[in-house]
Structure 1
Amino acid sequence: MRVEGDFIVINKWLLPLSWLYGLGVKLRNMAFELGILKTRSFDIPVISVGNITVGGTGKTPHVEYLVKHLKDLFHVAVLSRGYKRKSKGFIIANDKTTMLEIGDEPYQMKQKFPQVTVAVDKSRCHGIDELTSHDKRLDVILLDDAFQHRYVKPGVNILLVDYHRLVIYDTLLPAGRLREPLTGKDRADIVIVTKCPKDLKPMEYRVITKAMKLYAYQSLYFTALEYDDLQPVFGGNSRPLSSLKPKEHVLLLTGIASPEQMIHDLKPYTKNLTPLSFADHHEFKKKDIQLINETFAQLPEPRCIITTEKDTTRLYDVEGLSDEVRRHIYALPVSIHFLLDQEDTFNQYIIGYVRKNSRNSILAKTKDDHKPNNSNYPGNRSRTISFRDN
């Protein structure tokens, strides 16, 4: 049954299994709260970005936003587990590191920000220890997809919530898409509602704000996706989305968790959109390449292929793509934009936290003139665990 939100489907017949799953998650969380499972704090600013749902909420664009706004002020490292990589243990990426060694999303970030340290480790605690011992200059570590990795206690915990699948209307796996009970959102310092329409109305903002039922120590933000010019994957000239011809046929090739938003956003540019969707982090096989070639060949001209930056990392070295596909395939870069004039407030919050808590930055020794004057600022408030638990 479809409920509140565009893409939320609750499978009621699976609710008994959701109850059992929820019991297991609650026991795990209780073990952390009681100290049976240990959580570590670190003497370096740590910012975690993640979610409590299955499926894409825009983690990579939001981590990239943080990198972009911190890299010129601080020495930044990104730590991911490197989902589906063909390696084990701790790895720091360099200019010779392959996608298979670190995973598609970390590889994408290293390609976009070569001056930033990007590392992978299944154990976030071990990864942080390795990073801080490897580079004493580090000022801040960004944890990618680590909201549920409770072995690390971040200084700022950012929870991403898909506008089209608001957690307040969802339920636990397998009946819904929640990885843990809704109370898990109480651990967040910042909640960001992602993939919002750019024309989000003030009334809708107020409705969602009230429905989220956040605590006073939590800040709520809203972001929308933005698209840059189409970039040729195998050489050629970039082109703006507006250059798509009215009759141009577009094959949208995706291997991401939630392609619905991208499909929706591209429809105003073309009436001839053919989605070809694979699972998130999909490893393209020979039969997949054949399907891509055949599907594209059947489209009338003019035609092109649009894919994501993440999919590009997995397509670039595959064999068998036809010459026609290679000549006409473009990556569509995605970034985020804060709505309701919230960008400056968010940036000051994050920069102020890093400045106040950085071990090495000279900025940490100067007057913290970027610190927001409110009780939500992490360096200003006492920890609110007792309030949170009550």
Structure 2
Amino acid sequence: MSKQSLKRSITWVQGTALTIGAVLGCGILVLPSITANNAGPASLLSWAIMSLLAFPIVLTIADLAKIIPSAGGVMAYVAHAFGTRTSTMLSWIMLGSIPVGVPTIALTGAYYLNNLVPTNRWGTVSIAALILVTSLLLHVRGIDLSAKVSVAVICVIFTLLVTAVIVAFPHVQSSSFIPFVPHGWFSVGSASVVIFFSFVGWEMITPLAEEFKRPERDITISLVIGAIVVSIIYLSISFVTVGTQAYGANKGISSLSLLISKGWGHSGIIVTTVLALFITFSTVHANIAGFSRMVYAQARAGCFPAQLAHLHPKYQTPARVLAALGGAFTLVLVLYGTIAPDLGTLLKGPSVVFITSYIFTMLAALKILKPLTIGWFMALISLVITVIILLFSGGAIVYPIALAVVGAVFLHFKKDEMNK
């Protein structure tokens, strides 16, 4: 087992910025228009449901982080409640989240830049690759500087998003909300599965617990403030997207560009492009931070190959995990450049993985937290809602099941190796 330790340097202000950054960019760039295309004005209900769901999830995760402040994050909670075998299976399921979701997020940022400076498919892939490589290299050097920069970046992002809502609001028309449910009520549930990806990222902060200066206090503050800010922004952007009809087959998926251009014209498109790149990088960077620590911690515990359980000798960062992530990102980008799958389709798989991980986490919370307390009831509410959302995932449920099978095979061979 590795005896190396991660460096403690994160404050609650930096933690809040990382929290917002990890969650905000997951869908604000394209999902308001994608979900409006799928469910019409009723997509607002999906966003409202997901906003409400965020709070019991956040409060539950915060309680668990105070009890078990580990770089393993949700995997540590599941291991504490159900044993290492279950946490190992969940670890392998989680391998289908960030390695696929983060390059997809990078592609959305590249898509926005493509609207301003048109290029071909591989040009878009190259822009996404540059975003990912920059983040990976910064993480090798350490999270301290990145966390400080995140505070300034989130302030810029928040200001520009509020501006987008303000300039678009005068163009909202009541007729845009009629009919309210043009594609049936099932579309509301289906949209919720995709939107769920916009509200994941909270668990990517908990693996940083070993790097917070005061994790028992600052993680809760970071998560709660982050949830409030993110929910307000999502609901506001979704409302003006539907109200101004900044969606539809002939308008693409870059709803933010359409919203800001309503008030600022062509210069608004430039502003939106810069905003999109800031959001993309912030989200990519925060998610890589949490996920790389989670994989490192699981490798340290023997759930993944031991080669991943080593820190950089100078910077004390999980450099080998970051290198492995770079390889996974490359495969996803090559896949996109070759066959160009729909971004919504790419996001649905990681969304179902996150839903599955939250179900495991809430089950663990029900066992770890004191019964009938507020935290326990928050976990119960979160569990019920996430199970309901999972029922709308359709064929995408095969994705986490396949990853679990791979994890089972790994455990089988590892057991045989230990018995020799």
**TM-score, with length taken from structure 1:** 0.29
Q: Which has the larger radius of gyration?
A: 1
Greater share of residues in helix: 2
Greater share of residues in strand: 1
**TM-score, with length taken from structure 2:** 0.27
